[in-house]
Chains A and B, each alone.
Chain A
């Protein structure tokens, strides 16, 4: 199940990134060509900005699982193993609560904006959708913290690998 989720996340991230590059480059080309064509592609800037926020939030969980988020663990590694185990669990617990709280705020904001019927200026997209993506992103992050808390994934190993890959 977790492997399936990872595969979906990877597919979505790569598709979003390629779409960003393609759309932004097309926007530049149409602008250089000038005329009415440039006006027809005015939505590109907004679309790429939104895709970028989606890319950022949807990659949060994968980043955590791979030990890629920046942190200072020099002192943490000096703590005796028995105590360190509980410190890591504390980090997972706080991370989980934080992620779920932010996701809950995201849900509240999305619901509120949907109720106003507000739409984005150039894409005409319901603005509420823009807050749905971070909500999903923080839920994915919270899921990783929860899995680490329950010992399903080992973030400690990922952190060591992450340092070597930095």
Chain B
């Protein structure tokens, strides 16, 4: 088994595409340990792994997000955030956080949020007096809220893998995302005082009203997604499909930002993005199958029982495992490889599946912004044309805060479960 881990790591470090790393390693596992298993199983797992109704939410949310990113909806949400908090001390920092939450609430993707927010907000943060490192760190870190705030693709994948209600995960994600955003807002306030950044003059109510009016149709999107799901009108997948129709109508007819030809280009891009996510799910499903056949979850569980570990020790181990994995692989791959082994043990220890989902997702948030391989660091460096080392230097204080939030969320389940309990 050690040889296979080494093989996977070698392929990963050589620069093989992640789906090849998972796929080739799975084939090697089958050839070495399960040679008698019919080959046909491989194709069944690859195909069956993605042929699920729950997963249909992902292509629809990806398409909706790309429509909104290319059109006016995302921009109007960011403008509204500025109108509401831009005048406070360190207002551009608060705008970056609120804008990331707003953009995350329509995109579900942290790298997309970093790319979109970075180009718009970074120059303004610098102008307002924030240093380069702090600005870069804040932009990269606050984008992680997209992994928690609905419609998070990470939460959909977790829900599909574990059979946990996606509506409940979305509800929990709102609370945990808010805690993370609040922690970053406190950091911004402290840094603004340290840098002597004054508060700006508050915009007139008329200006706020104008920003709200412009964002009216944009605000309809979270209302449809969340309102539709929690009022029982839509399932998460149906809300995703409706959000595509809504985004198309608003961008084409109301804002008139996109033309039908843009629609074709964006849809094609969304198709490729969908394929990129799903081929990972397909290969992840294959490797998960072999992980289960090899009784890895049982072995870990036996080990934890043997060393007399309780739920707290288990959660610490989970956090360490995900933090290390998150540094090397992207969130969906980390989920696909680790969750099948850890979830049954977590449930065995009495950890609520929704709470465990929040812990896993927060760990992935940290992994996405942690060197040496945190994806969002490279997206920020590439988008803003800054050295990776500057982004890494800026991110560290936020990693520490993220870990503190992770500690609180891990050991205070009520924060994660408060909103789901309220709604169900």
Contacts and interface: CB of A to CB of B under 8 A. Distances in A.
A109 B44 contact: yes
Interface stretch (B7-15, B85-93, B137-145, B200-208): B7-15
A25 B271 CA distance: 18
B97 interface: no
Given A53-B47, A60-B279, A91 B16 contact: yes
A68 B276 contact: yes
A143 interface: no
| Interface size class of chain B, counting residues whose CB lies under 8 Å from the partner chain | 35 or more
A71 B59 contact: no
| Interface size class of chain A, counting residues whose CB lies under 8 Å from the partner chain | 35 or more
A68 B272 contact: yes
A83 to B, nearest CB: 11
A102 B383 CA distance: 36
A69 to B, nearest CB: 4
Interface string B106-129: 000001000100000000000000
Interface in A116-143: 130-131, 134
Contacts of B382: 163-164, 166
A130 B47 CA distance: 9
Interface string B182-220: 000000000000000000000000000000000000000
A59 B271 contact: yes
A59 B275 contact: yes
Given A75-B13, A90-B14, A163-B382, A63 B272 contact: yes
By DSSP majority rule, is chain B's interface helix, strand, loop, or mixed? helix
A66 B272 contact: yes
Interface stretch (B168-176, B236-244, B303-311, B352-360): B236-244
Contacts of B279: 56, 60, 63, 69
A105 B39 CA distance: 7
Given A62-B272, A70-B276, A134-B46, A49 B51 contact: yes
Interface of B: 12-20, 23-24, 27, 39-40, 42-44, 46-47, 50-53, 55-56, 59-60, 63, 111, 115, 234, 237-238, 241-242, 244-245, 264, 267-268, 270-276, 278-280, 282, 328-330, 333, 372-373, 375, 378-379, 382-383
Interface of A: 10, 13-14, 16-18, 20-21, 24-25, 28, 45, 48-50, 52-53, 55-60, 62-64, 66, 68-77, 87-88, 90-91, 94-95, 98, 101-102, 105-106, 108-109, 112, 130-131, 134, 163-164, 166
29 contacts: A13-B268, A13-B272, A17-B267, A21-B60, A25-B242, A49-B53, A52-B50, A52-B56, A56-B275, A59-B272, A62-B272, A63-B272, A63-B275, A63-B276, A70-B18, A70-B276, A75-B13, A75-B15, A87-B14, A88-B15, A90-B14, A91-B15, A91-B20, A98-B27, A163-B379, A163-B382, A164-B382, A166-B378, A166-B379
Given A55-B271, A109-B44, 15 more contacts: A20-B59, A28-B234, A49-B56, A55-B275, A56-B279, A68-B273, A75-B15, A91-B20, A94-B24, A98-B23, A106-B43, A163-B378, A164-B382, A166-B379, A166-B382
